[in-house]
Structure 1
Amino acid sequence: MIRTAILTISDKGSKGERIDETGAVLKQLLEKEKYKVEYYNIIPDEMDEIVEELIKASDDLKVDLILTNGGTGFSKRDITPEATIKVIKKQVPGIPEAMRLNSLKITPKAMLSRAVAGIRNKTLIINLPGSPKGAVENLQAVMPALKHGIEILKGEASECAR
């Protein structure tokens, strides 16, 4: 069982001015794939709050996977990748590369995503877009490899040959 946290990064969502459809569809997809969503929160695009939530989910809750959604674009308030970089110990560039490659088949705007992925302790953190469609497409692009990567991270598997 992969223990997961979903963090929606949205100024409007955190104020109750927008319904978080993206977090809901991610939760639905994860549960369908037998992931256990143990934590969910909506927070504003504020560096300190994003960093605090990422550390809480990784260090205190000890989830295996944190999926953020929102804050990966070009807007002045889009700072999710920078917050993620502050807390990770190792980057995992192949994950956002695969997501962008897959998304480029759908829209040329995919190249504008600044999403990152990385490891903090035994937690994999992945930034996803804020739109429900984009978040699901990006997550589905990398899901086939996630379980194996997390098993290696947790010390439950050692071979990556195939």
Structure 2
Amino acid sequence: MTADPVSVPPVPIGVVTASDRASRGVYADLSGPAIESYLAEVLATPFRIVRRLVEDERPAIEAALIELVDVEGCSLVVTTGGTGPSPRDVTPEALAAVCDRMMPGFGEAMRAKSLAIVPTAILSRQEAGLRGRALIINLPGKPASIRDCLDAVMPAVPYCLDLTGGDRLDTRPERIVAFRPKGA
């Protein structure tokens, strides 16, 4: 009799939507599901989504990020919404408050990709930072922009998680080729 192979549990990935109206049920959250769809398309690693839908309030966003990383064990958390210049857009400030270190290259890459599409991309404040071994990425709220921004940074996400001691993520090379140095 042979032993059954050990099944690896799916990697938890956090998805946070920051939206006053979606959190009150005024309209359906389309951005969170857009992130989930994107991840299903590009990741080869089995994963499960841990979702949070919160209002555009710093304490609520900060609490969701802390819970997803510290309690749920997510080493990747992707947020959507709250990255614009309006007074209610506070997701980057919430990210900075809970992170140990910021990763400015992620925001730069996302804005560069978006700027090639629309001139108002300079108004967006996408950011990324590290909380312990976790990478948290802020995305805009528009589903098409989510795809563009994730395409810009996803090749670096798996290796970033390797370096921080996070979960190993592999991409589907026919969709996104993740960069890893030889032997990594």
TM-score (normalizing by structure 2)? 0.82
Kept in 2: contact 1:2–1:147 (CA 8 A): no
Where structure 1 has 5 or more consecutive residues not aligned to the other structure, the ranges are: none
Shift in Å, 1:154:
1.1
3-state SS of paired residue (2:14): strand
- Relative to total residues, which structure has the larger helix share, 1 or 2? 1
Show the counterpart of 1:33.
42
* 2:22 matches 1:13: yes
The question of whether the paired residues in 2 share the 8 Å contact of 1:45 and 1:77 is answered with yes
Q: Superposed, which structure 2 residues align to 1:53-64 within 5 Å?
A: 53-64=64-75
Shift of 1:44: 0.2
- Rounded to whole Å, the distance in 2 between the matches of 1:56 and 1:6 is 12
How many pairs align?
161
Relative to structure 1, the CA distance from residue 134 to residue 161 in structure 2 (aligned partners, 3 Å threshold; closer, same or farther) is same
Residue aligned with 1:144, SS: coil
Cα distance in 2 for residues equivalent to 1:29 and 1:156: 18
RMSD: 1.9
Q: 1:75 offset after TM fit, Å? A: 1.0
Distance 1:63 1:129 in 2: 20
Q: Indicate which of 4, 9, 12 corresponds to 1:3.
A: 12
Matched residue SS, 1:84: helix
Inter-CA distance 104–49: structure 2 relative to 1 (3 Å threshold): same
Q: In terms of Rg, which structure is larger?
A: 2
> What TM-score results when the alignment is normalised by the length of structure 1?
0.92
- Give the 3 Å change call, closer, same or farther, for CA 16–151 of structure 1 in structure 2: same
Cα pair 1:27 1:37 within 8 Å, conserved: no
**For residues 115 and 12 of structure 1, what CA distance do their matches in structure 2 show?**
21
2:172 matched residue in structure 1: none
Runs of 4+ in 1 over 6 A off after TM superposition: none
Which of 24, 35, 60 is the equivalent residue of 2:33?
A: 24
Structure 2: 5+ residue runs without aligned partners? 1-9, 169-179
**In the alignment, does 2:81 pair up with 1:70?**
yes
Distance 1:38 1:108 in 2: 32
- Of the candidates 113, 127, 143, which is equivalent to residue 154 of structure 2? 143
Instruction: Please give the per-residue CA displacement for 1:89-121, whole angstroms capped at 9, x wherever unaligned.
Output: 000000010000111110111111112110001
